[in-house]
Amino acid sequence: MTDSIAVPTLPEIIAATASPRRHALLRSMGVRFRAWNTGSEERCDPHDPVKTSLRNALEKHSAAFAAFGASEWILAADTVVFFNGTVLGKPASLEEAEAMLLSYSGRTQTVFTSIAVSPPHSPTQTFTAASSVSFRSYGAAEVARCISQVNPMDKAGAYDISDSSRELIASCSGSFSNIAGLPCELLGEWLAAHGYFKREGSLYA
């Protein structure tokens, strides 16, 4: 007869994000979470990507904290693209998305994601990751094909590196998951350091 071993259940994190990409990344990390859309309006300092992403992440975290209280794990994130000296968020129209993607041809940009996170009854901590993305040379037909396959409207910079937008990309450096919206390496290390991953054999334990 084999004795059963109880596997500890991970705490549930309030993930203050409506992003399906972040949800998928959290699942890939083995994080147990409850998604919650804060409805917070994202603001932009057009020349300061770190300030912009940090402020938006903190505002989302504050909204979740107000709704759920200090007894919960709370996580919020915000991603922006910095290109040609300007912060780019989500496009306001398909025309703007097309113009964004066309402007990237043959050029390089930086993607910043800031995270605001707190364990129960503990101060909020923040960190920011940066990755670079270089695009190959392409034209309007390739952009039109990309937009026909993937909705660019809910994506910072109008593309998602994890889908067919990759056809436009030549190379990237830094955290791949950060470009997709969540720097899993940094977040995993932080969660492990704060006792979230306690199971033996966990990727981050």
The predicted structure's pLDDT at residue 162: 75
The total of other beta-carbon atoms located within 10 Å of residue 15's CB is: 26
Check residue 204 and give its pLDDT. Answer: 56
Name the nearest CA neighbour of 152 among 140, 142, 164, 141.
164
Give me the mean pLDDT over the 109-129 stretch: 97
Q: 4: burial class by Cβ within 10 Å (0-12, 13-18, 19+)?
A: exposed
The mean pLDDT value for 174-192 works out to 95
Which residue ranges make up each domain of the chain? Answer: 13-193
Token pair for 58: 């903190």
Residue showing tokens 């992440």 = 57
Q: Which pTM does this prediction carry?
A: 0.88
What's the average model confidence in pLDDT over 64-83? 96
Closest CA to 62 of 16, 122, 104: 16
Which pLDDT band, with edges at 50, 70 and 90, does 6 fall under?
A: very low
pLDDT of residue 165: 74
For residue 42, what pLDDT band results from cuts at 50, 70 and 90? Answer: confident
- Mean pLDDT for all residues in the chain: 90
pLDDT at 163: 74
Q: Which residues fall within 8 angstroms of residue 151, CB to CB, at 6 or more apart?
A: none
Residues in the chain: 205
Residue 96's pLDDT band, with cuts at 50, 70 and 90, is: very high
Helix (H) or strand (E) holding 128: strand 125-135
Q: Which of 45, 48, 78, 154 is catalytic?
A: 78
Residue 63 pLDDT > 90: yes
193 pLDDT above the threshold of 60: yes
| Cβ 57 vs Cβ 77: under 8 Å | yes
pLDDT value at residue 4: 39
Active site residue 45: no
Q: Which two tokens stand for residue 134?
A: 């270089």
For 113-130, what is the mean pLDDT?
97
**Which CATH number is 13-193's, of 3.90.1150.10, 3.90.950.10, 1.20.200.10, 1.10.1040.10?**
3.90.950.10
Question: Alpha-carbon distance 18 to 36, whole Å?
Answer: 7
For residues 105-109, give the mean pLDDT: 97
